[in-house]
Chain A
Amino acid sequence: AQRVTQPEKLLSVFKGAPVELKCNYSYSGSPELFWYVQYSRQRLQLLLRHISRESIKGFTADLNKGETSFHLKKPFAQEEDSAMYYCAPLADYGQNFVFGPGTRLSVLP
């Protein structure tokens, strides 16, 4: 069965500190992986996808097939990064997302 875990429910860091949001998946084949973000009182929106290898708002994520991980990283956190972050692999039985439980990132001043 497909599974995605985000071990931290809440992660608090100080502004300017590095941040890493962990995501591990259990999938057969080669899943496509995404990170979605939900800022306070806003809708879920795509942050980045692994196939594009881009950096959005300073965030990057590397797919590590050996460790089956897709951790989200940013070298210097900003207060406006405070939000819920969801790791979301595309399900291998279809083309719909299987969201992780989410990590709430709180960036303290």
Chain B
Amino acid sequence: EPEVTQTPSHQVTQMGQEVILRCVPISNHLYFYWYRQILGQKVEFLVSFYNNEISEKSEIFDDQFSVERPDGSNFTLKIRSTKLEDSAMYFCASSVGRSSYEQYFGPGTRLTVT
């Protein structure tokens, strides 16, 4: 069964550095998402992406964040200048359509900012 994959599984970076988190969605899916989960807190929506542009974003997704689909397979989340409070688990998800279609989640990337 196809799965969403994410790399790396764990990323450690220093405050102020840029990080890029990578995701490979399921191949026939058209909608892509990033969520994050700070340790001990709930899963929070960051951004959704369709047809090569952002379709929705939350208040968390400020100018420090950007997303890109650089080729036909990868979907990336870039944090320009990381802060300590960016430390979290970042989940990528994809779905074949919007609305009530199931979102398939990746295993997550744990980002630690020191």
> What is the total number of residues of chain B having a CB less than 8 Å from a CB of chain A?
26
Q: Cβ of B99 and Cβ of A90 under 8 Å apart? A: yes
Set B3, B41, B56, B106: member contacting A95, Cβ < 8 A: B56
Q: Cβ of A46 and Cβ of B103 under 8 Å apart? A: yes
Q: Cβ of A96 and Cβ of B108 under 8 Å apart? A: no
Q: Report how far A45 CA is from B93 CA in the complex, Å.
A: 10
| A91 close to chain B: CB less than 8 A | yes
With contacts A43-B107, A44-B43, A94-B56 taken as known, whether A51 is within 8 angstroms of B48 at the C-beta atoms is no
Among residues of A, the one whose C-beta sits closest to the C-beta of B95 is A95
Q: Mark A28-66, 1 if CB is under 8 A from B, else 0.
A: 000010000000001111100101000000000000000
**Restricting to B23-80, which residues have a CB under 8 Å from any CB of A?**
31, 33, 35, 41-45, 48, 55-56, 58
| B18 close to chain A: CB less than 8 A | no
| A86 close to chain B: CB less than 8 A | yes
Q: Cβ of A96 and Cβ of B107 under 8 Å apart? A: no
Q: Cβ of B56 and Cβ of A97 under 8 Å apart? A: no
Q: Cβ of A95 and Cβ of B105 under 8 Å apart? A: no
Across-interface contacts of A43 in B (CB, < 8 A): 3-4, 91, 105-108
Give the segment of A10-18, A19-27, A68-76, A99-107 that binds chain B. Answer: A99-107
By CB atoms of chain A within 10 A, which of B3, B43, B45, B91 has the most?
B43
Across-interface contacts of B45 in A (CB, < 8 A): 91, 96-99
Set B3, B43, B99, B108: member contacting A99, Cβ < 8 A: B43
